[in-house]
Amino acid sequence: MNEVYLAGRGLASALGPDIGSGLVALGRGGGPPRRFELAGGMAWPLYTIADDEPDWMTRARRIIERVARESGALGGSRSGPLFVASSSLDIGSRENSGDFERDYQSFAELVAGWLDWHGPVFTVSTACTSSLNALLSARTLIRNGHADHALVLGVELRNRVSIAGFGGMQLLSADRALPFGKHRDGLVLGEAVAALHVSSRPSRWRIAGGANVVEGEDPAGTVPEAVVAMCSEALASSALAPRDIALIKPQAAGGPVNDATEARALRQVFDPLPPLVSLKAAIGHTLGAAGAAEVALLTACLEGGVWPRVDYAQDALLEAPLADRAPANAGHVLACILGFGGGHAAVVLEDRGR
Amino acid sequence: MSDWITTAHVTVDPLPLDWRDQLAVRLGQRPRRIGPWAELALYGARLCLDAAGESALPAQAQLRVASLSGPRNATRQIVEQAQTGLPMPFSFMQSQPSQMLAALSRHLGWQGDARFIVSRDQQAVLDLALQECSAAGVLIGWVEEDRRTEWWRMVLRGP
């Protein structure tokens, strides 16, 4: 079995077009979401990537190429597997063109063409857990010697369907996301394109393990038993015990019920809870890109000594406070994404460069 | 590949006119709140498990679903609804492949690693699934809306 490492990363989000600018913006506290207008005069907050190109495809291509380049993946052979992970894919383009004849793989193949990528191309669409599941698949192929590198792209770009859909389900906040906050009242969605270039070549971050657990009991909510199973399986696959985890990045999307359910389930597994961190108050919930986006940003934060501010009242009843600074020793990090459709996914990252 | 055996392979193409009735009889109820594409996935998955002689998918087995069509009709509908206002919640849910996975989990009484993953190369999807699963194997299906559903149940060959 080969070990699998994070060779490089790229991220465009509301914080900036790349990791470096994103860290600077995060250090300054980030910025507020913009208003995204829907039909009928409705509008919801959305954390957007600053790029006003009106043509969806032109904008997507520019952002994706830049982020993939930032990850370093385009500097090599481009022959490993490419995973395009998204909950909305190119629906933003189809909304305008009305073209529903292109199939579910066509966007990923288009992206591969933009990147001049020659390896096998996969589309992963498991809602919010999409890019973590793609990362788990990439890890498997490298671990088993079927590839020596892979590129995971999490892509979630502006479209009416995602915002109107979550709005219609009454899952959105009208104001801002307050992960684990006392006054949390829903999600705020965000745009992101994230690239994780993974490789068998040793580097600072080892992808030690992970798990994906789907529980259909509540197709729109978090199921505590599934959170516990996800944590247990992720730890087992990493040959770790709960006490070995020094930092958890929970889903913490700001939903009144789901945040409480998640916090309660995490406390079942981890006693005491290690420090917690959330990035969604800065970039929003970036749906299928969230796993890759938050892994990219979190690892950069830990390397760069930048930490997201928690400038709102936390919910003491959750007994799961977000840390106001990075832990001194974040040797193993558990990064979780809980998703629409009963998905519960996590990866364990080992920091070898401390 | 040689370590894996196929315990059941079911192809339904073309679909019989009464396939939804057949599914309702098999489940003892009509599945509620899921779209036709998810229902077709459930129909094929249930047939395949029955053909394998399994009443339920074992806990450690994995579930993989692929499709080039995806929930195309629901997607078209949700786009149209979003152009004029807030879409209906069930329409939105039916346009999400993840909701199909949730429906399979619920109706198969199973909790585990389920994913919707697509490639143009059918063999690549199968090879990846087999790389990822344990000895309990995988239930994997291709589901093309309004057209066909094809499923395999594969387990690791015994000693």
d(CA A174, CA A166): 12
Chain A with chain B: Cβ pairs closer than 8 A: 172
pLDDT at A283 over 80: yes
Closest approach of A130 to chain B, Cα-based (Å): 9
User: What percent of chain A lies above the pLDDT cut of 70?
Assistant: 100
Same domain, A128 and A98: yes
Residue A74 per-residue DSSP state: G
In DSSP notation, B63-87 reads EEEE-SS-SHHHHHHHHHHHHHSPP
Rounded CA separation B127/B129 (Å): 5
The pLDDT value given to residue A354: 56
> What would the mean pLDDT of A94-103 be, rounded to a whole number?
90
pLDDT at residue B159, rounded to an integer? 67
Same domain, A219 and A280: yes
pLDDT band, residue A39 (cuts 50/70/90): confident
**Domain finish residue from A199, A218, A240:** A199
Domain that holds residue A237: 205-351
pLDDT at B82: 86
Residues A195 and A247 in one domain: no
Considering the domain architecture, whether residues A18 and A160 belong to the same structural domain is answered as: yes
A334 and A267 inside one domain = yes
Amino acid at site B61:
A
Domain boundary among A199, A217, A249: A199
Q: Given an 8 Å threshold on Cβ–Cβ distance, is A137 in contact with B95?
A: no
3-state helix, strand, coil in chain B (%, to 5): 40, 25, 35
Which residue in A55, A46, A48 sits closest to A17, CA to CA? A48
Rg, chain B, Cα only = 16
A255 and A191 fall within a common domain = no
ipTM of the predicted structure?
Answer: 0.96
Q: Which residues of A touch B84 (CB under 8 A)?
A: 39-40
- Nearest neighbour of A105 by CB, restricted to B68, B72, B78: B68
Average pLDDT over residues A119-147: 98
Name which of A325, A3, A323 is nearest A179 in CA terms.
Answer: A323
> Do residue A94 and residue B87 have CB atoms under 8 angstroms apart?
no
Same-domain check for residues A71 and A190: yes
Mean pLDDT of all residues in B32-49: 96
Residue A353 is predicted with a pLDDT of 86
User: End of a domain among A167, A199, A231?
Assistant: A199
pTM over 0.80, yes/no: yes
Given a cut of 80, whether residue B86 has pLDDT beyond it is no
Same domain, A28 and A57: yes
- Distance (Å, whole) CA A87 – CA A55: 20
pLDDT in tens, A166-206: 998 999 999 999 999 999 999 999 999 999 999 999 999 99
CA B81/CA B73 separation, integer angstroms: 12
Chain B: closest CA distance from residue A304 (Å): 34
Judge if A82 and A166 occupy the same domain.
Answer: yes
Q: With bands split at pLDDT 50, 70 and 90, how would you rate the model's confidence at A263?
A: very high
Give the pLDDT score at A329. Answer: 84
Indicate yes or no: CB of A169 within 8 angstroms of CB of B92.
yes
Residues A34 and A65 in one domain: yes
What residues in A contact B124, CB-CB < 8 Å?
120, 122
Query: Is 90 exceeded by the pLDDT of residue A220?
Result: no
Note the pLDDT of residue B158.
Answer: 79
Based on the fold, state whether residues A106 and A213 are members of the same structural domain.
no
Using alpha carbons, list the distances in angstroms from residue B152 to A254, B112, B137, B142: 40, 17, 10, 9
Over residues B57-64, mean pLDDT: 95
- Kindly report, residue by residue over B123-151, the tens digit of the pLDDT: 999 999 999 999 999 999 999 999 999 99
> Do residue A343 and residue B105 have CB atoms under 8 angstroms apart?
no
Average pLDDT, chain A: 96
CB contact under 8 A, A215 and B111: yes
pLDDT, position B2: 61
Which residue of A126, A158, A228, A344 is the best one to mutate when testing the B interface, meaning the one whose CB has the most B CBs within 10 A? A126
Interhelix angle for B72-84 vs A160-168, to 10°? 80
Name the domain count of chain A. Answer: 2
Q: Among partner residues A104, A137, A213, which is closest to B70 by beta-carbon distance?
A: A104
Give the gap in angstroms from C-alpha A315 to the nearest C-alpha of chain B.
29
Confidence at residue B90, expressed as pLDDT on a 0 to 100 scale = 86
What secondary structure does DSSP assign to A175-225, as a single string? Answer: S---TTBTT---B-EE-EEEEEEEESS--SEEEEEEEEEE-TTSTTS--HH
Output the pLDDT for position A218: 85
Report pLDDT for A41. Answer: 86
Which of A105, A226, A340 lies at the smallest CB-CB distance from B119? Answer: A105
Are residues A186 and A235 both part of a single domain? no
A127 closest CA partner among A103, A151, A161, A102: A161
Dist. CA A17–CA B134, nearest whole Å: 40
Count of helices and strands (H, E) across chain B: 6, 5
CATH number at A251 reads 3.40.47.10
